Amino acid sequence: MPVLFAPGVGTAPRLGETSVKICGLTTIADVHAVAAADANYVGFVFFKKSPRNVSVAQARDLAIEVPMGIAKVALVVNATDEFLDEITAAVPLDILQLHGKETPERVSEIKARYGLPVMKAVGVADESDLPALDAYSAVADQLLIDAKPPKNADLPGGNGLSFDWRLIAGREFGVPWMLAGGLTPENVAEAVRMTGTQQVDVSSGVESAPGVKDPARIRRFVKGARS
């Protein structure tokens, strides 16, 4: 089993705890709610079609409110170097999350250019999608294993969809990995039990409306993940 939290890759949970990432924060109140719930990662979405999209300036203001010890993640989709230059110059970040159709070669390019750990999201619907996990684990610092979006979906993630968790139950990929896709306060404990994951990610599952985070659901999600 690889070391889960290498320097600069994430924040260390207490022994035996599941690490939690709350993605799609858009307000200072969201940051405070996530910090109060004792999550390990916060995610800022840079994708205009998403109801959770933030500008670079908004993300900067949010990031400086994040307490020490919580990793700040930028979610981008097929981003150009120019856009990544803009984000990384303005926003204090710990991780870049690539949530588009970036190739393994592109993942390596981004790691080399920015010197930040890279998390690559990989969509899974059935067994035919599993080889991609091995391909990206060879170049990424972490994997985010998400439900594969439907064809012609507007969003690459954050759709509230899950996949058959048995496909990845007990698997190891050579790098730390995080489970996403359709997780909620109601099912996260079962997801952790079934897959053996040590990290989980949620966005729409802790919202009262698209893009509107619910502090009570955030607290319940973190508690459920660690139960």
Query: pLDDT tens for residues 28-72?
Result: 999 999 999 999 999 999 999 999 999 999 999 999 999 999 999
State the number of CA atoms in the 13 A half-sphere of 106 facing the CB. 17
Tally the domains of the chain.
1
Would residue 101 count as lying in a domain? Answer: yes
The yes-or-no answer on residue 146 being catalytic is yes
The pTM of this model reads 0.89
Q: Which amino acid is present at 183? A: L
Q: What DSSP character marks residue 129? A: G
Would residue 171 count as lying in a domain? Answer: yes
Would residue 8 count as lying in a domain? Answer: no
Would residue 7 count as lying in a domain? Answer: no
Calpha distance 68→124 (Å, rounded): 33
Kindly name the residue from 30, 141, 146, 201 that is annotated as catalytic: 146
The yes-or-no answer on residue 214 being catalytic is no
pLDDT at 14 over 70: no
Task: Give the structural domain span for 161.
Answer: 19-225
* Beta carbons of 120 and 107 less than 8 angstroms apart: yes
Would residue 6 count as lying in a domain? Answer: no
CATH assignment at residue 49: 3.20.20.70
Kindly name the residue from 23, 30, 94, 141 that is annotated as catalytic: 23
**What are the start-end ranges of the E strands in 116-226?**
118-124, 142-147, 177-179, 199-202, 207-209, 212-213
Would residue 81 count as lying in a domain? Answer: yes
Q: Give the confidence band of 163 by pLDDT, cuts at 50, 70, 90.
A: confident
Q: Give the confidence band of 4 by pLDDT, cuts at 50, 70, 90.
A: very low
Would residue 4 count as lying in a domain? Answer: no
Would residue 209 count as lying in a domain? Answer: yes
